[in-house]
Chain A
Amino acid sequence: MVQVKKNIYWKVAQKGFLDMLPLNLAVIPWGILCGSLAIQRGFSVLEALLMPALVYAGAVQLVVTELIANNVPLATILFTAFIISSRHFLYGLALRNKLKNLPLRWRVSLGFLLTDELFALSTHRKSLKGKVRLIYGLFAGGSFYLSWLMWNIIGIIAGSYLPDLTEIGLDFAIAVTFIALIMPNITNLPALVTIIIAGVFSVIFKLLDWELGLVFAALLAMYGGYTTSRWQTRKAIKSEIKEEKE
């Protein structure tokens, strides 16, 4: 029995790793960029290592490295990091009912690993429910953490010898992995409304250079999806009542 269980855990661990693999590879340019930028901006090797190891957030690392190098006041740096990180509050909220009653070690480890990428793999109604799915999440998230660390280290070693990798269009990879993870799940009207609103407003807000645009575009989109599904439910109930009367 124990052996069977161990086999299942081993299998889901592998599946977690394999499902995350395309994302691990898609962030190679970003990871290398983060590492090399830190060195180029005068961070010590230890500091450059602690950024991916502890802060562990690509967008925050890129922006903040520039701010620190330009001697921007600490409060501004922290506030900027807070704004960029604010989308993670939504991830925590979305997973709260599934994770809040778990032991501390699960909450802290999955919480620490809760990047855009791990969240993207945790969208199913059942994901992270039960030990098997938790192990899946832990290995998916853990492999992403180790990859991120590895790409950053390569960047740190290569340092100033590297050109700007985003200039040659490698940011395309991360966009495509999100497309591949999201689009197959857009199978009903509320989901379609959600992505249309998110797409339109994220572009508008980005063009306006509005820092909180991502979160607001997402909130508007969620509201749109939610309202559409409520409208559908109400319509369904109404037609049912009509049928009963006839």
Chain B
Amino acid sequence: MTLITILLLAVITFSSRYLFLHPGIPLRIGAKLSSFLSFSAPAVLTAIWVPIIFIKDGSLNISPDNPYLIAATVAVVVSIKTKSVYITLASSGVVFVLLRVFL
């Protein structure tokens, strides 16, 4: 039973990704829709990461003793300054670990 469920789940995740790549879908993406969709990456990815930082145990935590918030602020500044994923990960990671240890 679980096996069938897993196969059906695979159909769902694959079709959610593949559907609009299929040429047979009667959908033409014009200039307006295309411009709207050009904002999808910052929109979706921001909507994924922001709650991880600001919501702790189901409620909003905007206080200086939230290590996620401090370290994410470091990450934002470093990423804009250096544009490097590696330097951003390393610097904010160190800050995060130190805060977890000492706070």
Given contacts A47-B2, A85-B13, contact A179 B68 (CB under 8 A): no
Provide the residues of chain A in CB contact with B27, threshold 8 Å.
Answer: 96
A89's nearest neighbour on chain B, judged by CB, is B16
User: What size tier do the contact residues of chain A reach?
Assistant: 35 or more
User: What size tier do the contact residues of chain B reach?
Assistant: 35 or more
**How many Å lie between the Cα of A180 and that of B27 in the bound state?**
33
**How many Å lie between the Cα of A180 and that of B92 in the bound state?**
10
A55 touches B37 (CB 8 A): no
The total of interchain contacts (Cβ-Cβ below 8 angstroms) comes to 253
Residue from A82, A107, A221 in contact with B39 in the complex, judged by beta carbons closer than 8 Å: A221
Residue from B20, B21, B42 in contact with A194 in the complex, judged by beta carbons closer than 8 Å: B42
Q: Would you list 18 pairs from A and B whose C-beta atoms are within 8 A, ordered by A residue?
A: A82-B16, A89-B16, A89-B20, A92-B17, A93-B37, A94-B37, A112-B18, A119-B44, A123-B41, A175-B52, A183-B79, A183-B80, A184-B80, A198-B42, A198-B44, A198-B47, A207-B58, A221-B39
Interface locus among A5-13, A73-81, A149-157, A234-242: A73-81
Provide the residues of chain A in CB contact with B50, threshold 8 Å.
Answer: 198-199, 202-203
Instruction: Determine how close the nearest CB of chain A comes to the CB of B54; give it in whole angstroms.
Output: 5
Given contacts A82-B16, A175-B68, A191-B39, contact A87 B44 (CB under 8 A): yes
Given contacts A50-B6, A176-B72, A203-B51, contact A194 B39 (CB under 8 A): yes
Q: 1/0 per residue B64-95: CB within 8 Å of A?
A: 00011001100110011001111011001100
**How many Å lie between the Cα of A175 and that of B52 in the bound state?**
7
Residue from A50, A107, A110 in contact with B22 in the complex, judged by beta carbons closer than 8 Å: A107
Report if A54 contacts B (CB, 8 A): yes
A100 touches B23 (CB 8 A): yes
**How many Å lie between the Cα of A64 and that of B46 in the bound state?**
24
**How many Å lie between the Cα of A175 and that of B100 in the bound state?**
16
**Which residue, of B23, B33, B43, B72, has the highest number of chain A Cβ atoms within 10 A?**
B43
A226's nearest neighbour on chain B, judged by CB, is B36
Report if B12 contacts A (CB, 8 A): yes
Residues of A contacting B: mostly: helix
Report if B63 contacts A (CB, 8 A): no
The residues of A with any CB-CB pair to B shorter than 8 Å are 19, 22, 26, 43-44, 46-47, 50-51, 54-57, 60, 64, 68, 74, 77-78, 81-82, 85-97, 99-101, 107-108, 110-112, 114, 116, 119-120, 122-123, 169, 171-186, 190-191, 194-195, 197-199, 201-203, 206-207, 213-215, 217-219, 221-223, 225-226, 229-230
B46 touches A195 (CB 8 A): yes
Provide the residues of chain A in CB contact with B18, threshold 8 Å.
Answer: 92, 107-108, 111-112, 114
Given contacts A55-B13, A78-B5, A218-B44, 7 further A-B contacts (CB under 8 A): A50-B10, A174-B49, A195-B43, A195-B46, A199-B47, A202-B50, A225-B43
Provide the residues of chain A in CB contact with B3, threshold 8 Å.
Answer: 46-47, 50
A56 touches B44 (CB 8 A): no
**How many Å lie between the Cα of A96 and that of B47 in the bound state?**
22
B38's nearest neighbour on chain A, judged by CB, is A94
Instruction: Determine how close the nearest CB of chain A comes to the CB of B32; give it in whole angstroms.
Output: 8
**How many Å lie between the Cα of A50 and that of B43 in the bound state?**
31
